[in-house]
Structure 1
Amino acid sequence: MTMKDRIKGALREPLIHFLIAGLVIFLLFAWRGYGVDPASRTIIIDEAQVSRLGKSFEQTFQREPSPKEVDGLIREYIKEEIYYREALRLGLDSEDPVIRRRLRSKMEFLAQAKLDSVRPTDAALQKMIDANPQKYAADARYSFDQIYLNAFDPEIAGSKAEALLSKLKSGADWQSLGDNLSVPKSMDDIPRSEIERQFGEEFTKGLSSLADAPKNSWVGPIGSGFGIHLLRIRSAAAASKPKLADVRQAVENDWRAETMEKREEEAYNVLLSAYDIEIKK
């Protein structure tokens, strides 16, 4: 497939249409000075603006603002608008790395919002279930060993896990490693629900995600409410094949997470193709 064909295919994606429309709107507002004339000394507070302020308040506090609170909202808006215009007048928005990052974040948020509205086909979801049925089966059963590490900081936890994995590869006795915890170090043919009761939802999700890992090999770490754990899965089996109708939301969440990065990359590449990049040395 040629680059031209790939671009044509990508342009048919709803996400791409959304991003292009968002970019046009973004550039239009940039050309118009974000709808504000920095030279103007007139600030108009009309009924529509007051309504927007009130709705924003309602979304935050789940109630309508009082007349006194509306007055406060208007005063804060005027103060913000004055500082905003003065900042534009001083050119503080030009080449400011913080503002650039915020604008990038807004564009990525637009892409994220559009991705959330994309729905996978039943065939795509069923394929995910077929590839890993024990992950979605409520009655899946596991046999595993776990080594607990009392660490929550990602860097410290990662370093501890790597050190332990290295010891395990060297043949160290796994039962002598790790920190003490009240939950069992080993479980045999235990249903998912019981594992979740003892270790928590985060641990159970991590266990399910590693169900296809090589059996009898130490993997991880995965998290729990206690800290982190290294796992050695000895067996994983779904007692019955899960039905899509029963696990649709869980499978759709996984599908969205797996396809998010790919779709964002495709959208960015379409926008990138419209630019000429010159790197001068």
Structure 2
Amino acid sequence: MKSHWSRDPSLHFALIGAALFGINSLFSSSDSIDTESIVISESRIDHLAALFERGWQRPPEPQELQGLIDDYVREEVLYREAIRQGLDKNDTVIRRRLRMKMEFLAKDLVEAIEPSDAILQDYYQQRIDHYTQPAEYSFEQIFLDSDKRPQVAEDARIALTQLVAGADYRELGDNNLLQHSFSKLSSERIDRVFGGSFSLQLAELQPDQWAGPLTSAYGEHLVRITYYQPQQVPELAEIRADVLRDWQIEEQKKILQTQYETLRAKYQIEIASPATEVARQ
């Protein structure tokens, strides 16, 4: 059963995370590599069997279980000897792996606790622009190269007349790299393709009617909108999974930072001054 927090959960998470680290250190001390004893407890054997069953969808046979135990003993022996010989020292791969394990603890902690509806609603409202779905357009366009057309406005008027008379829009205008038609592009995407705030000009047009000229970074265009969906602000219930995921990511970052600052305070850290920069030639 997941807990619900009525207040900012960051502090709660940090405290629980610290507790987890404390519990982990207690258990770790019982397996100290300073002893020559390797004890394979009943709970450890049950854990090995459970991992096998999860992967193979059946319990291990007696000989398979014995193989798991033998492999674990081999791993433990080699692990302890590697530590004893200092093979873990100054190893970038091991250092990064251990850091990842510490950070995974924070991730698992956040995923285990679901925020209350009030907290998630507040998070959503503060970032509502991020979740707002921009307007979408499908449209056809005719490009008129203003660099080659001194009378581009008059040429546009003539082209509009031809379109009303039934001319094929793909046979009119000048060639360039733009497509003749675009399907369900967001206003942001349109502005990236056409430059500037081209989508704002589209917002002023009536659907299914040729209009223009509209100005882009390339020149002038005649445009007919064939589909339009206005900007939408979804309800939290519609995108709750996305909002929850974003909330968890942010909380994880807060926990990692809080835990880091707490652990860092235990150390006296000395950082040498950077070497004097070599004079430029």
Partner of 1:17: 15
Aligned CA distance change for structure 1 residues 174 and 263 (closer, same or farther; 3 Å): farther
Please say if 1:36 is aligned against 2:32: yes
8 Å contact from structure 2 (residues 14, 255) kept in 1: no
Please say if 1:73 is aligned against 2:65: no
Instruction: Give the length in aligned residue pairs.
Output: 200
TM-score normalised according to structure 1 size: 0.55
- Taking the TM superposition and a 5 Å limit, the aligned residue runs for 1:91-240 are 91-120=86-115, 121-127=119-125, 130-132=128-130, 134-135=132-133, 142-143=136-137, 173-175=176-178, 186-187=182-183, 190=184, 213=188, 216-218=191-193, 234=199, 237=229
Partner of 1:180: none
8 Å contact from structure 1 (residues 144, 233) kept in 2: no
2:246 corresponds to which letter in structure 1?
Answer: D
TM-score normalised according to structure 2 size: 0.55
8 Å contact from structure 2 (residues 120, 247) kept in 1: no
Cα offsets for 1:167-219 (capped at 9, x unmatched): xxxxx95428xxxxxxx9611xx4xxxx9xxxxxxxxxxx6xxx6x4862349
Of residues 243-252 and 124-133 in structure 1, the stretch that sits farther from structure 2 once superposed is 124-133
Aligned CA distance change for structure 1 residues 89 and 241 (closer, same or farther; 3 Å): closer
Provide the rounded CA distance (Å) in 2 between the counterparts of 1:82 and 1:23: 25
Which one of 47, 50, 54 corresponds to residue 52 of structure 1?
47
Provide the rounded CA distance (Å) in 2 between the counterparts of 1:27 and 1:233: 60
Aligned CA distance change for structure 1 residues 45 and 269 (closer, same or farther; 3 Å): closer
Aligned to 2:88, the other structure's residue is in SS state coil
8 Å contact from structure 1 (residues 53, 73) kept in 2: yes
C-alpha deviation, 1:109, in angstroms: 0.6
Partner of 2:164: none
Provide the rounded CA distance (Å) in 1 between the counterparts of 2:44 and 2:255: 36
Partner of 1:272: 264
Gaps of 5+ in 1: 1-9, 146-171, 177-183, 196-206, 220-231
* Percent of pairs with identical residues: 30
Which one of 72, 77, 83 corresponds to residue 88 of structure 1?
83
Aligned to 1:186, the other structure's residue is in SS state strand
Provide the rounded CA distance (Å) in 1 between the counterparts of 2:198 and 2:239: 23
Aligned to 1:68, the other structure's residue is in SS state helix
Cα offsets for 1:83-138 (capped at 9, x unmatched): 12222332323443332222211111111111223434143244167435543xxx
1:17 corresponds to which letter in structure 2?
Answer: L
- Decide which structure has greater helix share: 1
